[in-house]
Amino acid sequence: IPEMLTVLAHEVGHVIHDHREGDYDDWEREADTFAARVLIDADEWAMVTAVRPDASRIELAEHFGVAWWAIHDYRKWVIGDG
């Protein structure tokens, strides 16, 4: 279910951002970031990562109920690389 939810949010990101023309790689990055930001609460992220700064992507994905790659994309967005 976490993977399906993450993919669904990713596809909604394509619709929201009106991805019809342009750079495919940019579309994918934008949709990935959209999905991560929609599915992961910023306040909860701050609390969880403050308490468990060493938590793995898998542990965080299980906590937030998302696919592991959403954690990767969210971390990139938080540090300003996405």
> pLDDT value at position 79?
85
Q: What mean pLDDT, rounded, does the chain reach? A: 93
Centre a 10 Å sphere on the Cβ of residue 12 and count the other Cβ atoms it contains.
14
Instruction: List the alpha helices (DSSP H) in 1-82.
Output: 2-16, 24-39, 42-51, 57-64, 68-78
Task: Inform me whether the pLDDT recorded for 59 exceeds 70.
Answer: yes
Q: pLDDT per residue over 24-57, tens digit each?
A: 889 999 999 999 999 999 999 999 999 999 999 9
pTM of the model: 0.87
Percent of the chain with pLDDT over 90: 85
